[in-house]
Amino acid sequence: MPQLIFPFVELDIKYFDLGLPHRDATDDKVTIESAEATLKYNVAIKCATITLDEAHVKEFGLKSMWKSPNGTIRNILNGTVFREPIICKNVPRLIPEGKEETKELEVFNFTGSGGVALSMYNTDESIYAFGDASMNTAYQKKWPLYLSTKNTILKKYDGRHNFLMLLFKDIFQEVYETKWKSKFEAAGIWYEHRLIDDMVAYALKSDGGYVWACKNYDGDVQSDFLAQGIVFIIFFIINLFGFLRRSSGFSLTSYKVCPDGKTIEAEAAHGTVTRHYRVHQKGGETSTNSIASIFAWSRGLAHRAKLDDNARLLDFTEKLEAACVGTVESGKMTKDLALIIHGSKITRDHYLNTEEFIDAVAEDLKARLSC
Ligand code: NAP
Ligand code: MG
């Protein structure tokens, strides 16, 4: 992707190599340093990183099974993750229109030898930060805000049934009333808590234009619904289904916003795409969609532009994003998008390979910059 940024923008970038060998060589200190630098400079653009399992430790001969870099960084930044779809008009939405059939799946059946369970936690501090980041984003966008929880079932966790725990619903209400209510009302927007069941039904029917604060688990499920197997812990979804209903087609951009409202880390909402990388390593052709990564750069640089009051940089980032969408809408796209359009009837001339796609975006960008 260097041909989309470096010929056009002069940048003083601090690099932190979060590749496995360097994380191992520095006893993972580089991950911590990168997060500290993010707080210092206020803008970071992060590539997907490998979260280790035992097999990796063996394969790469690592000193230790280092912690998830995303977890380490998230804890240092105390950020809230936002996701936003990237829309191309010619790529149809993925969620088919509601068939009213019921599917029953067995989730667990603990017989004999037992099983396994999962527990979750949130600190009050992180819930306050989540509330503030959500309200701040809703206010910036001038969209209403909904927080969804399963407060009817997860009583201990979601509602105030334990006087020691100020919980999601209560904390959001407190943040709203003490800091945001009058601003929201002046802007003609509102904050509401909704039961997750109601919220999902509403999201599928609505035309969008709202901010949806999802707790970790719900956000993860909702975003995967759209992002097909993209694994990332999410606290927050912006306008996901609504946009899809209206104009369809997407890829996801993801960014973490810190409680200071000033520091962000942008990244693509997908992983390192290992399967494609293996093909590439063997000299094979890949058709990997780079739009989410390009948007990580454009969103990061746009934030830099806002902090520095740099109108030319902002203009560049807008043109870069327009070039991505314009390229796809002109029919030039990678295989994942072509598959959504053509399904099983897909042929090789429906899509470009990775390099051809980036070249096509570069060409479109140059045309936009010269006019
Ligand atoms: P992944 O890299 O997102 O890839 C999963 C599958 O999704 C790919 O095999 C591909 O499907 C499709 N896909 C994802 N991104 C695509 C793109 N840009 N263009 C086209 N297709 C795309 O997830 P993963 O395979 O579960 O994880 C791989 C590695 O990434 C792991 O080491 C994981 O720890 C790491 N990871 C990091 C982050 C992060 O740092 N934020 C997030 C998630 C995963 P097809 O193979 O069917 O084409
Ligand atoms: Mg997930």
Interval 214-246: pLDDT, tens: 876 666 556 555 543 222 223 333 333 323 322
Higher per-residue pLDDT: 157 or 363: 363
Q: 102 or 74: whose pLDDT is higher?
A: 74
- pLDDT, tens only, 22-52: 999 999 999 999 999 999 999 999 999 998 9
Higher-confidence residue of 136 and 181: namely: 181
Alpha carbons within 13 angstroms on the beta-carbon side of residue 71 total 7
At CA 282, angle to CA 277 and CA 285, rounded to 5?
70
Query: Between the CA of residue 153 and those of 25, 162, 201, what are the distances in Å?
Result: 46, 14, 18
pLDDT of residue 239: 30
pTM, whole model, 2 decimals? 0.71
Name the amino acid, one letter, at 202. Y
- Ligand 1 atom 1 nearest Cα: 271
- H/E/C letters for each residue in 145-161? EEEEECCCCCHHHHCCC
Residue of 34, 46, 231 with the most ligand 1 atoms within 8 Å of its CB, for mutation: 231
On the 0-12 / 13-18 / 19+ scale of CB atoms within 10 A, 228 is exposed
- Binding positions for Mn(2+) are 197, 220
Shortest-distance atom of ligand 1 to CA 289 = 19
Going from the Cα of 216 to the center of ligand 2, the distance in angstroms, rounded, reads 10
Instruction: Confirm or reject: Cβ of 270 under 6 Å from ligand 1.
Output: yes
pLDDT, residue 236, reads 38
Q: How far is the CA of 29 from the centre of ligand 2 (A)?
A: 27
Q: pLDDT: is 129 or 319 the higher one?
A: 319
Q: Work out which ligand 1 atom sits closest to the CA atom of 275.
A: 9
CB-ligand 1 contact for 240 (6 Å cutoff): no
Residues with C-beta atoms within 5 A of ion ligand 2: 220, 224, 231
| Interatomic CA distance for residues 130 and 136, integer angstroms | 10
- Whether 298 has a pLDDT exceeding 80, the answer reads yes
- What angle in degrees, to the nearest 10, is found between the helix axes of 311-329 and 354-370? 130
> What is the percentage of the chain residues whose pLDDT exceeds 90?
47
Compute the distance from residue 250 Cα to the ligand 2 centre, in Å.
17
Atom of ligand 1 nearest to the CA of 228: 7
Give start and end residues of each alpha helix (H) in 145-268.
155-158, 168-175, 181-186, 196-205, 216-227, 240-247
Residues 121-149 have a mean pLDDT of 83
C-alpha 154 – ligand 1 centre gap (Å): 31
Atom from ligand 1 closest to the CA of residue 230? 3
238 or 265: which leads in pLDDT: 265
Select the more confidently predicted residue: 317 or 243: 317
Please tell me the predicted confidence (pLDDT) of residue 279. Answer: 96
pLDDT of residue 175: 94
Q: Give the list of residues 6+ apart from residue 303 with CB closer than 8 angstroms, or none.
A: 42, 43, 264, 266
- State the residue for tokens 């067995």: 106
Enumerate residues 6+ apart whose C-beta is below 8 A from 251.
85, 86, 289, 291, 292, 295, 337
Return the pLDDT at 247: 29
> Does residue 327 surpass a pLDDT of 70?
yes
- Identity of residue 76: I
Tokens of 242: 């609504």
CA 154 to ligand 2 center in whole angstroms? 20
* Dihedral sign of CA atoms 285, 287, 293, 294 in order: positive
| Lowest mean pLDDT segment, chosen from 200-204, 232-236, 262-266 | 232-236
Mean pLDDT of the chain: 81
Nearest listed ligand to the Cα of residue 293: 1
Q: What is the pLDDT of residue 104?
A: 59
Question: Of 122-126, 176-180, 340-344, which range is least confident?
Answer: 122-126
Buried/exposed code over 252-261 (b: 16+ C-beta within 10 A; e: otherwise): bbbbbbbbee
Q: How far is CA 7 from CA 4, 56, 366, in A?
A: 7, 37, 10
The amino acid occupying position 266 is A
Binding-site sequence positions: 197, 220
Q: What percentage of the chain carries pLDDT values higher than 70? A: 79
Phi and psi, residue 200, nearest 5°: -65, -45
